[in-house]
Amino acid sequence: MNSTKFLLGALVGAVVGIQIGILIAPDKGENTRKKIAKKGGEYYDEVTGKLNGYIDNLTKKVSNVSDEVDKLARKAKAEVDKVTSKN
């Protein structure tokens, strides 16, 4: 989790740095605002896509673990039933 937080922080820092660079660049205000909006949209799409991929991957892993736990629980119940039926 710490590496995820670090990467997210680095990404946010890079975005902020780029936007500050654009703001201090000698250009008309209208052009600067357009550049910021365009880059912001690009970064938003990129981060959203990566975040959705991360969530999908995490969801699959949780589902797999849940399936394994269910299998183990059924196996344990079968063993308990087998032991109790012998008594």
pLDDT digits (tens, 9 = 90+) for 15-69: 888 777 777 777 777 887 788 788 888 888 888 888 898 899 999 999 999 999 9
- Res 3 pLDDT > 80: no
The pLDDT value given to residue 41: 87
- Distances in whole angstroms, Cα of residue 24 to Cα of each of 18, 20, 27, 28, 30: 10, 6, 8, 11, 13
Q: Compute the average pLDDT of residues 61-85.
A: 91
**Range with the poorest average pLDDT among 12-16, 21-25, 80-84:** 21-25
Ranges of each domain in the chain: 2-86
- Res 70 pLDDT > 90: yes
CA atoms of 25 and 27, how far apart (whole Å): 6
